[in-house]
Amino acid sequence: MRRTIFTDEHEMFRAAFRQFVAKEIAPHHLEWEKAGIVPRSLFAAAGANGFLGMSVPETYGGGGVDDFRYNLIIGEEVQRSGTGGAGLGITLHNDICLPYFLSLATEEQKARWLPGICSGELITAIAMTEPGIGSDLASMGTSAIRDGGHYVVNGSKTFITNGINADLVITAVKTDPSQRHKGMSLLIIERGMPGFERGRNLEKVGLHSQDTAELFFSDVEVPVENLLGTEGQGFVHLVHNLPQERLSIAAAGVAAAEAALDWTLDYCKQRTAFGQPIGSFQNSRFKLAEMRTEIDIARVFVDRCIEALNDESLTADEAAEAKWWCTELQKRVVDTCVQLHGGYGYMLEYPIARAYTDARITTIYGGTTEVMKEIIGRSMGV
């Protein structure tokens, strides 16, 4: 289906990033899957080639172009190549963490952090989830008590993407533990701060090359200068940035579904059964047609949401619609594609098998499907 949201400049960027993936990511992906982490040098290489911080002003070393279509292209190409686990750290860095620095950091903080974020020297993560609370962020127990010129942080976080590699962790804390939402703030906790420890690199069902860690804080003294935004407004800051995060996940879901379909279509044309290609059977054709249709429909909505994000009109409920629908679509499509591959679809040497395990988390992280439906329902006045 022809898409109209991209210009020639976007397609040039796509070609450059596709080449980067082919050279710097794809040859090493299976090695990184076994290691459970990508090397920090991947971020440095991405930064050196202009694939980090595209929306950061040139003054701070960025691309100076505030256009989420470039982020979209990176996410699509990562999924097309079947290296979603390895590429997730880059999309989290660009799509999810960076907006907090751009919208909330002081000029001093921007000068201190943005150049390293753009070069890949400073890898970012965001730490919200804690053991036992899931989506109920207001119940978090990680505290940050002001003591003169610093906050003393105690608590823990879990399921933190980039958790092992991260240098700057946007950490949701309770600066007023007596309050729920109004007591939350955001602090930047940095690599090497005494009392900041990382737990194990968690073993996941999929996305094996993406490091995901537990973080522990024991009397970590964080300078007041590392407060991001306004004290007590952490929940408001999170809510403001969540639509872009969810749209990024939705776009990746559509791209992953399309990649799975492309691999499966090729397989169905080549694989024979009973003397003919399996794609020529009516059931196969109908399944392929259904997936093609749903992917095209989802992509139109996501592209429209990208345009709305660029002109600052994207709403939280629209992002929630995109997030839950596209990730549930990803799961359905990948599952059907595994079925069409037959036994080979269960072999990890085939990208469709890895896509199957990678897809399962997408309806959970960034807000579960059930939470997305709750957001949409409330927007309808019910």
What would the two tokens of residue 52 be?
A: 């980090």
8-state DSSP, 161:
E
**Among 12, 6, 92, which Cα is nearest to 52's?**
92
Q: Are 238 and 140 in contact (CB under 8 A)?
A: no
Strands (E), the chain: 124-127, 143-147, 150-161, 168-174, 184-190, 196-201, 212-223, 227-228, 272-273, 276-277
b/e burial code for range 326-342 (CB count within 10 A of at least 16 → b): bbbbbbebbebbbebbe
Question: CB neighbours of 60 closer than 8 A, spacing ≥ 6?
Answer: 53, 110, 111, 114, 115, 118
Q: Are 252 and 77 in contact (CB under 8 A)?
A: no
Q: Which of 76, 245, 318, 321 is catalytic?
A: 245
245 assigned to active site: yes
DSSP 168-236: EEEEEEESSTT-SGGGEEEEEEETT-TTEEEEEE---SS-TTS-EEEEEEEEEEEEGGGEES-TT-HHH
CA end-to-end span of the chain: 36
What would the two tokens of residue 217 be?
A: 């804080």
Alpha carbons 236 and 350: distance in angstroms, whole number: 43
Q: Which residues are part of the catalytic machinery?
A: 245
